[in-house]
Amino acid sequence: MIRLVAAVALLATPVMAQELQYTDRVTQNCLEGAESYGTKIDCAGASAGQCMDDTPGGSSTVGMGGCLERELAYWDGLLNSHYKAAMAQAKSLDADRPASMKDLPGAATALRDMQRAWIPFRDKACAYEASLWSGGTGQGPAALSCLLQQTAKQALTLEPWG
């Protein structure tokens, strides 16, 4: 996965990053209008797609990589926020457990373990997605798109628990 991340990082050059026509607002507006997980997950990629459409050269490998990388950062921030809220709730639940259950693993431990298990799953799923491109120029954007989708799914999964 380290090689995959390094290859993906090379896609978004500093010059292109300054020229991107990207805003998180497209995804935020989509999420605000969505009512359920099923409709919210359709918002993943909305800002990146608009960025690719609005940026000159946005459909190039570098353009796609830059737009996808920006939206991935948005979803990663949302995931971290939802995880933090879910962890606070889990710790509160654990504190309220009866004394007879205090020596058993609690909600905070289960949440932490779930998140730790999800990270290698995400990495392996996206390495597989990238491998389908056989080293072609679409490999980097495919990996970023997968990371964005997987991160969005996890962020939305954690949302109701926070």
Q: Domain ranges for the chain, please list them.
A: 2-161
Alpha helix stretches (DSSP H) within 37-60: 37-40, 46-54
What pTM was computed for the model? 0.85
pLDDT tens digits along 25-83: 999 999 999 999 999 999 999 999 999 999 999 999 999 999 999 999 999 999 999 99
pLDDT tens digits along 84-136: 999 999 999 999 888 777 777 899 999 999 999 999 999 999 999 999 999 88
Largest CA distance in the chain: 63
| Phi, psi angle pair for 13, to nearest 5° | -75, 155
- Say if residue 22 is exposed, middle or buried (CB neighbours under 10 Å; 0-12, 13-18, 19+): buried
Q: How far apart are CA 48 and CA 46, in angstroms?
A: 6
